[in-house]
Chains A and B, each alone.
Chain A
């Protein structure tokens, strides 16, 4: 039994590890690609707004993208790195206000205390001469999705394991029961003085079986009948 549990543990942990690796890699790649596409899209559509319109229109533009799942923040800086529009509440994190804003396309990991961990994708606006768009993707969402995937996998494996154990128990019992009856029948023939454990109907049913147990029962009866006169003389 311990071996079965050990085997199950090995299967569960190895598939979970594989799942974590696969989901993490694929989701991260997918989110980064989406974020990059969004950042580029905003960069392309915002250059005209930055040059010709006021920042409230810019804000309205980025607010629409904020609703996309996984996108936690968006901010746009001008060519000097000054903030033009952002979606942070209750304020722009100090780490971002500290400056050093990149005006080139890049992907970095950020930890913003009070906000979480993010993968931030940047896209320059007009090659950076107008500014840059930064899109922050929530790494917590990826972790949550991994947890969900692992949870579902462990749940599935556990269910299969429990069903297997129950099925094995039933099957073993199905196989062991007639053998037990056969054994009891043999004992009954060997010790006729002992009160019989089986009723005549049960013995009859055993002898009428078409399987190997029935054949063995009939064989036992045959040998018992052959040996009975010798013992009696």
Chain B
């Protein structure tokens, strides 16, 4: 590993180093645009908190090559237009070193052309919190560095497992935008590979709140009598759908993908369960791209738990509503934590004189890197995704536990 680091650091020779935007003698600044307010705020806040738990520790122990890492943050409210404006600001005004921890498919898909436009500045979108395909495929794949598994992989896994327990009538509820379409494509492709079709589909508008009714969507899907429903959405809307489905007697397993924000969804369902005297958290499956934060024997979880407790990173000042209660642990903050570990590793490999143009080479040099997940991370040629790990969880005793045997989900 040391040889790889040295090779990347020296690739362009010491004399080639010039002052790089976003890097000073004492600091490396990365830029983040994510929802910190609105119906999806938990995703941005928790991702940030997880990353900062690790970065705070790195900074406390001297930083990387003597530089501390700071994150310049803007709220985009999960709105594509705002994400574009924020990105322009980060790239051209703040002149950050790279873009980090972006949240959402509709936002990221609109930002990608900006990276292409300013290709000469060598910006990279690092560990976006989305499993969509646009930044995993040409022409944008070389402009992004992904760690998490894709939605195609998550939905493929969910469909395979449901079919394996005899649940072949699969329906989908998805957010009416690029994110929802990504998941919809995944479910459709997984079913098509087995000569099956989804039995029904319904949509909801981005920004739907938990207080909104999703009865119409429930009615549409109830009509097709599904064996299982896959949701491609964010926590408020998904929790609202689960509540309304259970109220309507639609008790089939309901699955969510990793983007949903599992703990935030569960919080809402718990509150609704208490109010209605009905358990809305039963029969749920959530796919995850990081291990469970309950698995204390996994090294990265142990490290994450210790640093989350130590730093209790606050959401970015001025960017969050006072009524938001940070989550003690969550899959989202754990993902942010692991993202930060990868970022730090890449900065280490860039050496004492980092430049944007060498980020891709530094990432490509990562082979079998152990970030503590128990599954090494590698970036193989022509594939800008480090991990394929997917974990399936369900709610037991009010918390998410890993599903080890799908037989219990048999129809």
A residues with CB within 8 A of B:
52-60, 63, 85, 87-92
B109 at the interface (CB under 8 A from A): yes
- Choose among B106, B184, B203, B205 the residue that contacts A60 (Cβ–Cβ < 8 A): B106
Is B185 a contact of A54 with CB atoms below 8 Å?
yes
Contact A56 B179 (CB under 8 A): yes
CA distance A90 to B204 in the complex (A): 5
Contact A56 B181 (CB under 8 A): yes
CB pair A63–B177 under 8 Å, yes or no, is: yes
- Determine the chain B residues whose CB is within 8 A of the CB of A52 once the complex forms: 138
Q: Which positions in B face A, CB cutoff 8 Å? A: 80, 105-106, 109-110, 132-134, 137-138, 176-182, 184-185, 201-205, 214, 216-217, 220
- The minimal Cβ–Cβ distance linking A54 to chain B, given in whole angstroms, is 4
State how many angstroms separate the Cβ of B225 from the closest Cβ of chain A: 16
Determine if B202 and A59 form an interchain contact, defined as CB atoms under 8 angstroms apart: no
A91 to B180, CA, bound (A): 13
28 A–B contact pairs at CB < 8 A? A52-B138, A54-B133, A54-B134, A55-B182, A55-B184, A56-B109, A56-B134, A56-B182, A57-B109, A57-B178, A58-B181, A59-B177, A60-B80, A60-B109, A60-B178, A63-B106, A63-B177, A63-B178, A85-B181, A87-B176, A88-B176, A89-B176, A89-B203, A89-B204, A90-B214, A91-B203, A91-B217, A92-B201
Distance of A55 from chain B, by nearest CB (Å): 5
Residues in B neighbouring A60, C-beta threshold 8 A: 80, 106, 109-110, 134, 177-178
Residues of B near A90 (CB, < 8 A) are 202-204, 214, 216-217, 220
Please measure, in the bound complex, the distance between the C-alpha atom of A92 and the C-alpha atom of B172, giving whole angstroms: 13
Docked Cα-Cα span, A88 to B205, in Å, equals 9
Q: A56 to chain B: which residues have CB within 8 Å?
A: 105, 109, 132-134, 178-179, 181-182, 185
Other A-B pairs, 7, CB within 8 Å; known A60-B110, A63-B177: A54-B133, A54-B137, A55-B185, A56-B133, A57-B178, A89-B205, A90-B220
Report the 3 A-B pairs with minimum CB-CB distance, sorted nearest first.
A59-B181, A60-B178, A56-B182
Q: Which residues of B contact A57 (CB under 8 A)?
A: 109, 133-134, 178
**Do A88 and B181 have beta carbons less than 8 Å apart?**
no
> Within the assembled complex, what's the spacing in Å between the Cα atoms of A71 and B217?
22
CB contacts (< 8 Å) of A87 on chain B: these are 176
Q: Is the CB of A91 within 8 A of B202?
A: yes
- Report yes or no: A55 in contact with B181, Cβ–Cβ below 8 A: yes
Chain B residues with Cβ below 8 Å from A91 are 201-203, 216-217, 220
Contact present for B203 and A88 (CB under 8 Å): yes
Q: Decide: A54 near B182, CB < 8 A? Known: A88-B203, A90-B216, A91-B201.
A: yes
Separation of A89 and B138 alpha carbons in the complex (Å): 30
Residue among A63, A91, A92 with most chain B CB within 10 A: A91
The CA of A103 and the CA of B115, in the complex, are separated in Å by 35
A90 to B133, CA, bound (A): 24
**Chain B nearest CB: distance from A47 CB in Å?**
16
Among residues of A, the one whose C-beta sits closest to the C-beta of B215 is A90
Q: Chain A contacts of B137 at CB under 8 A?
A: 53-54
Complexed CA–CA distance, A119 and B303 (Å): 59
Cβ–Cβ < 8 Å partners of A85 in chain B: 181
